[in-house]
Amino acid sequence: MDPARCLPVENPTVPFWHRDIHELHDYRTTEDLPASSDVVIIGAGYAGISTAYHLVKEEAGDSKTKLSVTILEARGVCSGATGRNGGHLRPDMYSPMPKFIDRAGIERAVEVSEFEVAHIKAIKSLVEREKIDCDFTLTRSIDVWCNEEDALKAKEKYDMLVSHNLEYIKDVFFVLGKDAEGISGVKGTRACASFTAATLWPYKLILHLTKSILETGMVNLQTHTPVKAVTRQTSGGFIISTARGATFARKVVYANNAYVSGLLPQYSQAIVPCKGFCTHISVQGGTRPPLLNNSYIVRDTDGVVSYLIPRADGSIVVGGANLKYRPFLKQWYNNVDDSILIDEVKDYYDGYMQRTFHGWEDSGAKVDKSWTGVMGYSWDSLPHVGALPGEDDQYVLAGFNGHGMPVVFLSALGVAKMVRDGVAFEDIGVPRLFQTTRERLEKVKNGPAGGDIIVKDA
Ligand SMILES: Cc1cc2nc3c(=O)[nH]c(=O)nc-3n(C[C@H](O)[C@H](O)[C@H](O)COP(=O)(O)OP(=O)(O)OC[C@H]3O[C@@H](n4cnc5c(N)ncnc54)[C@H](O)[C@@H]3O)c2cc1C
């Protein structure tokens, strides 16, 4: 994609989560951009707001330095992928593990899973500490396989991980065969696995954090301010040019995820904007269906994958189905237009609960909201976190795929430690496989177009 076109569009589809728009959604701390700041963060999604949170709320370390931080956001706060996702905070403990083990060995692969698992506790304690009203629910997530062959392969993966005697895998309960359907409640289940996960209202979480960081007086938020270019000054620091004028910063953090190549063309093959699809289903007028107490990943007999969370009011957020639109590259791949739904699946979730879950046949469950969002799909399925290769004072955290909720918050803590206290990547507590390196960027150039992106399933 031409970098100049890699910017959020102005009229995106409206997600369920934006039902009640927060007073800070379109906020600007000052009428004009500040002349200068210690740190400019580009993007006010989960990554940008979490980085600011760690920078100004002391979690990054012992440093008592008071930094000035400016956040520049192209649209409103949390209007990118974070504001349009499935609300599922679910560590992926086994699906990608064989691939990561092959690439880097068991020790590095396990770092990724443990990091994801650690997010459950980290977000739970954040929500409790900050008293965040965001429907946070600690739950069991059930992975379901309806295809016999996929079920057997999943069991093989699980057994392989068990054989390594990993601590975190002890939380996974795997069932293959006749009892799986009764446990999952999904018609035709051949195998299922449950483990600890969480669900939440992402927009409420991010807007609460936004309020909290603005209250420190250290953060200047500028919404509807797309960044056009970042230019290093020979005397040090950077001029950040926006649609509303320029500002100066000593350090820059790129937290603009899917759109990162718009400002950093060296990432154009490593992180590609790809659209995803999600819906909200409510129950209207039929017989009351069973309340779901778990979140889900459902893989149907054809291998179509859906992520699903129940809400306490009985409604459902469900999305995915990318196997259905994968062949139609133009509709989703290298595409930042979240103003239009993905044609191929726009009706896919009509009747989904009735055809998928026992007891929902006469529920009258109906899709009442559909939306799309743009994810930063990374070529090797791993995010890019850390200092820009070969550059001082510029940092990135992007490429979180369709799986940012159990990955971003502690990555942002790590980046904040680098920015504020100059801590080396090796010491920030982020998996080594996430480090953005020249080697990873080079590998993309020499590898097949699309890399893992084209084959990814959720
Ligand atoms: C439909 C869908 C469903 C998903 N479901 C889940 C799920 O259930 N669980 C899960 O773990 N993950 C899910 N994800 C992925 C998850 O939402 C992302 O990985 C995560 O939100 C990434 O956060 P972020 O802050 O990096 O990106 P974003 O939230 O996209 O934030 C980036 C921000 O940068 C801004 N920006 C971009 N360019 C510029 C610029 N030049 N100047 C200024 N601002 C700019 C954007 O407007 C945006 O607000 C889903 C994603 C989608 C789209």
φ, ψ (nearest 5 deg) of residue 368: -115, 0
Indicate whether residue 399 lines ligand 1 (CB < 6 A): no
Ligand 1 atom nearest residue 227's Cα:
42
For residue 228, the CA-to-ligand 1 centroid distance in Å is 19
Residue 79 CA to residue 8 CA, distance in Å, equals: 9
Q: Which of 53, 93, 257 to mutate to test the pocket of ligand 1 (most atoms within 8 A of CB)?
A: 257
Question: Which one, of 2, 38, 6, lies nearest residue 238 by Cα?
Answer: 38
Query: In angstroms, what CA-CA distances link 20 with 14, 198, 214, 392?
Result: 11, 22, 20, 41
Quick one: angle between helices 148-163 and 97-104, nearest 10? Answer: 50
Question: Which one, of 323, 320, 312, 310, lies nearest residue 360 by Cα?
Answer: 310
Q: Which of 22, 200, 259, 395 to mutate to test the pocket of ligand 1 (most atoms within 8 A of CB)?
A: 259
For residue 73, the CA-to-ligand 1 centroid distance in Å is 12
Residue 161 CA to residue 110 CA, distance in Å, equals: 10
Task: Give the pLDDT score at 151.
Answer: 97
For residue 102, the CA-to-ligand 1 centroid distance in Å is 29
| Residue located via tokens 């951009």 | 33
Task: Give the pLDDT score at 94.
Answer: 82
Ligand 1 atom nearest residue 72's Cα:
43
Task: Give the pLDDT score at 63.
Answer: 55
Ligand 1 atom nearest residue 371's Cα:
1
Q: What is the DSSP string of 52-63?
A: HHHHHSSTT-S-
| Residue located via tokens 């974070």 | 82
Ligand 1 atom nearest residue 83's Cα:
29
Domain ranges of the chain: 3-85+203-269+380-453
| Radius of gyration, CA atoms only, the chain | 21
Question: Which one, of 431, 261, 276, 255, lies nearest residue 338 by Cα?
Answer: 276
**How would you classify the pairing of strands 36-42 and 69-72?**
parallel
Instruction: Give the ranges where 370-454 is alpha helix by DSSP (H).
Output: 408-421, 438-446
Task: Give the pLDDT score at 61.
Answer: 55
For residue 355, the CA-to-ligand 1 centroid distance in Å is 30
With the CA atoms of 338, 342, 347 and 350 taken in that order, what torsion angle do they form, in degrees rounded to the nearest 10? Answer: -50
Residues in a beta bridge with 37: 249
Indicate whether residue 280 lines ligand 1 (CB < 6 A): no
Q: Which of 375, 395, 401, 434 to mutate to test the pocket of ligand 1 (most atoms within 8 A of CB)?
A: 375
Burial 34-67 (b: 16+ CB within 10 A, else e): eeebbbbbbbbbbbbbbbbbbbbbeebbeeeeeb
Task: Give the pLDDT score at 411.
Answer: 98
Task: Give the pLDDT score at 458.
Answer: 40
For residue 407, the CA-to-ligand 1 centroid distance in Å is 12
Residues in a beta bridge with 318: 279, 308
Let me know: does 192 contact 184? Beta carbons within 8 Å: yes
Instruction: Give the ranges where 262-333 is alpha helix by DSSP (H).
Output: 322-325, 329-332
Let me know: does 139 contact 199? Beta carbons within 8 Å: yes
Ligand 1 atom nearest residue 277's Cα:
1
Task: Give the pLDDT score at 454.
Answer: 56
Residue 443: which residues within 8 A CB-CB, separation 6 or more?
379, 380
For residue 373, the CA-to-ligand 1 centroid distance in Å is 8
Q: Tens-of-pLDDT digits for all 458 residues of the chain? A: 766 678 999 999 999 999 999 999 999 999 999 999 999 999 999 999 999 999 998 665 555 578 999 999 999 999 999 999 999 999 998 888 889 999 999 999 999 999 999 999 999 999 999 999 999 999 999 999 999 999 999 999 999 999 999 999 999 999 999 999 999 999 999 999 999 999 999 999 999 999 999 999 999 999 999 999 999 999 999 999 999 999 999 999 999 999 999 999 999 999 999 999 999 999 988 788 999 999 999 999 999 999 999 999 999 999 999 999 999 999 999 999 999 999 999 999 999 999 999 999 999 999 999 999 999 999 999 999 999 999 999 999 999 999 999 999 999 999 999 999 999 999 999 999 999 999 999 999 887 776 766 554 44
Query: In angstroms, what CA-CA distances link 365 with 283, 358, 359, 400?
Result: 4, 13, 11, 31
Ligand 1 atom nearest residue 6's Cα:
38
CATH of domain 3-85+203-269+380-453: 3.50.50.60
Identity of the amino acid at 239: I
